[in-house]
């Protein structure tokens, strides 16, 4: 499966590729507010991001760059990866990198669009995710769009100097 171009009311979704390479993207990954709960954040360079994007282009993957339509502006990424064909499920992840666009409902809009696409077009039966218990904004979003907790992994890791648990969540295709 490969990502296809999609759009929602305020947003565009383009398959993530090398054309999305920018210093703004590098800066998101190095921003402590953005990468506080990410396993992959911090100490990024333009070269490291270029390598990452080239790798993503080679994969059969559902990975989109999220753009505001007007004016067109890259504000984050969303993915469903990996896809588990045996269980007909996918693992969800989102990065809202542009902090000036936080708290405007874009993460919810993007999540609902991509999940609907995966359920209606790809016929996935469920989407799963992992979220750190200290990431209250993400937890609120996921619960608000219908994810339910189904497991807790205690002492998952240290983020922002705090030991965090990981909450596994699931949303079923009704």
- Say whether pLDDT at 161 is over 90: no
CA distance 92 to 129: 5
Domain coordinates of the chain in residue numbers? 6-128
Model confidence pLDDT, tens digit, residues 2-52: 899 999 999 999 999 999 999 999 999 999 999 888 877 678 999 999 999
Q: Are 22 and 28 in contact (CB under 8 A)?
A: no
Model confidence pLDDT, tens digit, residues 52-101: 999 999 988 899 999 999 999 999 999 999 999 899 999 999 999 999 99
Q: Quote the tokens at residue 70.
A: 């007007």
Contacts of 138 (CB under 8 A, 6+ apart): 37, 131, 132
CA distance 89 to 78: 16
Closest by CA position to 92, among listed 71, 122, 70:
122
HSE-up of 155 (CA within 13 Å, CB side)?
Answer: 0
Predicted confidence at residue 38, as pLDDT, reads 82
CATH number of the domain located at residue range(s) 6-128 in this protein: 3.40.630.30
């Amino acid at each position: 499966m490969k990502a296809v171009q999609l759009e929602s009311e305020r947003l565009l979704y383009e398959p993530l590729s090398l054309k999305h390479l920018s210093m703004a993207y590098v800066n998101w990954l190095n921003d402590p507010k953005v990468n506080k709960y990410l396993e992959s954040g911090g100490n990024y360079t333009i070269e490291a991001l270029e390598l990452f994007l080239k790798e993503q282009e080679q994969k059969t993957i559902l990975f989109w760059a999220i753009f505001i339509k007007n004016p067109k502006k890259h504000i984050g990424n969303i993915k469903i990866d990996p896809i588990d064909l045996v269980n007909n499920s996918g693992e969800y992840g989102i990065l809202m990198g542009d902090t000036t666009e936080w708290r405007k409902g874009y993460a919810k809009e993007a999540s609902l669009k991509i999940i609907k696409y995966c359920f209606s077009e790809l016929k996935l039966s469920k989407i799963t995710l992992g979220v750190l218990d200290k990431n209250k904004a993400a937890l609120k979003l996921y619960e608000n769009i219908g994810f339910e907790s189904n497991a807790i992994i205690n002492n998952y890791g240290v983020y922002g100097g705090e030991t965090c648990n990981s909450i596994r969540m699931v949303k079923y295709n009704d």
